[in-house]
Amino acid sequence: MTVTSTARRSAALLLALGSMANAQSVFKLDTDDEIRASARTLAYDTMLYYHGNETGQTPGILPGPPPGGDYYWWEGGALWGTMLDYWHYTGDSSYNSVISQALLFQVGEGVDYQPRNHTASLGNDDQGFWGMSAMLAAELNFPNPPSDQPQWLALAQAVWNTQAAPDRHDETCGGGMRWQIPLSNNGYNYKNTIANGCFFNLGARLARYTGNSTYMKYAEETWDWLVNIGYIADNWDIYDGAHVESNCTDINKAQFSYNAAVLLQGMAYLYDFTDGSQRAMWKTRIDGLLARTLEVFFPDNIAYEVSCEPGLTCTTDMYSFKGYVHRWLTNLVQLVPDTADKIKPVLKTSAQAAVNQCVGGDSQRACGFSWKSGKFDGKMGAGQQMNVLAAVSTLLVDSAKGPLTASSGGTSKGDVNAGSNSPYQREHAPITTGDRAGAGILTVIVLAAATGTFGWMSWER
Ligand X SMILES: *[C@@H]1O[C@H](CO)[C@@H](O)[C@H](O)[C@H]1NC(C)=O
Which of 27-35, 47-55, 306-314, 446-454 is the region at the interface with ligand X (rule: CB under 6 A)? 47-55
Q: Are 423 and 119 in contact (CB under 8 A)?
A: no
- Is residue 214 at the binding interface for ligand X, with CB under 6 A as the rule? yes
- Residue with nearest beta carbon to ligand X: 174
Task: For 230-266, give one letter per residue: b (16+ CB within 10 A) or e.
Answer: ebbeeebbbbbbbbbbeebeebbebbbbbbbbbbbbb
Task: Identify the residue among 98, 165, 340, 404 touching ligand X (CB under 6 A).
Answer: 98
What sign does the dihedral 351-357-358-359 (CA atoms) show? Answer: positive
Q: Could you report how far apart the first and last alpha carbons of the chain are, in Å?
A: 62
CB nearer to ligand X: give 54 or 148.
54
User: Which own/partner contact pairs does 291-296 have at CB distance under 8 Å and 24+ positions apart?
Assistant: 291/236, 291/342, 292/235, 292/236, 292/237, 292/260, 293/236, 293/257, 293/260, 293/261, 293/264, 293/325, 293/329, 294/342, 294/343, 294/346, 296/237, 296/255, 296/257, 296/260
CB of 258 to ligand X, least distance (A): 24
Stretch that binds ligand X, among 18-26, 45-53, 275-283, 438-446 (CB under 6 A): 45-53
**Shortest spacing between CB 109 and ligand X, in angstroms:** 8
Candidate list 174, 299, 345, 374; residue touching ligand X; CB under 6 A: 174
Closest CB 213 distance from ligand X, rounded Å: 8
Residues in 361-420 that interact with ligand X by CB under 6 A: 416
Which one, of 250, 238, 246, lies nearest residue 297 by Cα? 238
Q: Which residues pair with 180 in a beta bridge?
A: 123
Give the H/E segment covering residue 242: strand 241-243
Pick between residue 24 and residue 214 the one whose CB is nearest to ligand X: 214
What x-and-dash track marks residues 52-71 binding ligand X by CB under 6 A?
-xx---x-------------
CB of 216 to ligand X, least distance (A): 10
Compute how many residues bind ligand X; rule: CB under 6 A: 19
Q: Which of 186, 212, 373, 453 binds ligand X (CB under 6 A)?
A: 212
Q: Does the protein bind ligand X through residue 93 (CB under 6 A)?
A: no
Give residues 113-142 in contact with ligand X (rule: CB under 6 A): 115, 117
H helix intervals, 106-167: 124-139, 152-164
Q: Give the interface with ligand X as residue ranges (CB under 6 A).
A: 47, 50, 53-54, 58, 95, 98, 105-106, 115, 117, 173-174, 212, 214, 228-229, 247, 416
